[in-house]
C-alpha cells in the first residue's frame, strides 16, 4: 500500500497558504502621507507650474509635494537642492510670514536653496516663471567649488 505523506512546511498548495512576509510592517513618516494627499489637492497656480516643470521639460527633474524634514516642499529639484514654494494670499496673513521664515531658515541651514514665487505671478504668465526657473538651473547663482579644485581668487574667499 502506498502511503502519501503530507506536504512539508512551504510545499503543497500555495494558493491555500497565507501570503506575506511577516516581520515588522513597513511604516512611513506622517509627512509622506500628507505629501501624497497634497499631490491630489494642488492649487491652480501649482497645477499650472507643475504642467511646465514636469517630465524634465525645463531640463531639470522636479518632484511635487516632496517631504523635507517635517516640512513639505511644493516643488523640489534634487540636482540643485532647490525648493520652490508657491505663495498664495494666505502666506501674508496671521502668523504665516513668521512660519515661512522659520521654514526657510530650516531649509537653508540644511543646504537647500528656497525660491518663493507669488501665486499671482504664476497666474499672470506661468511660462515666464517656468523659464526663469529653468534659467536658474542652467546657471545657478552659487556654484559649489570642487573639493580638489583651485583655491578661490582674491576677494572671493568665504568668510
Share of the chain above pLDDT 90, in %: 31
pLDDT tens-digit readout, 61-72: 999 889 898 888
Cα distance between residue 86 and residue 116, in whole Å:
6
For residue 56, what pLDDT is reported? Answer: 75
For residue 138, what pLDDT is reported? Answer: 75
For residue 59, what pLDDT is reported? Answer: 84
- Fold that domain 29-136 belongs to in CATH: Endonuclease; Chain A (3.40.960)
Amino acid at each position: 500500500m502506498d502511503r502519501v505523506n503530507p506536504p512539508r512546511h512551504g510545499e503543497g498548495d500555495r494558493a491555500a497558504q497565507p501570503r506575506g512576509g511577516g516581520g515588522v510592517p513597513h511604516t512611513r513618516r506622517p509627512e509622506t502621507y500628507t505629501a501624497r494627499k497634497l499631490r491630489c489637492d494642488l492649487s491652480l497656480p501649482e497645477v499650472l507650474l507643475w504642467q511646465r516643470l514636469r517630465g524634465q521639460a525645463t531640463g531639470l527633474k522636479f518632484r511635487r509635494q516632496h517631504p523635507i524634514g517635517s516640512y513639505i516642499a511644493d516643488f523640489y529639484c534634487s540636482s540643485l537642492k532647490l525648493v520652490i514654494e508657491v505663495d498664495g494670499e494666505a502666506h501674508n496673513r496671521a502668523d504665516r510670514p513668521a512660519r515661512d521664515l522659520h521654514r526657510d531658515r530650516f531649509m537653508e541651514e540644511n543646504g537647500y536653496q528656497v525660491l518663493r514665487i507669488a501665486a499671482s505671478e504664476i497666474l499672470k504668465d506661468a511660462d515666464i516663471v517656468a523659464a526663469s526657473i529653468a534659467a536658474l538651473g542652467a546657471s545657478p547663482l552659487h556654484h559649489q567649488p570642487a573639493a580638489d579644485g583651485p583655491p578661490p581668487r582674491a576677494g572671493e574667499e568665504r568668510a
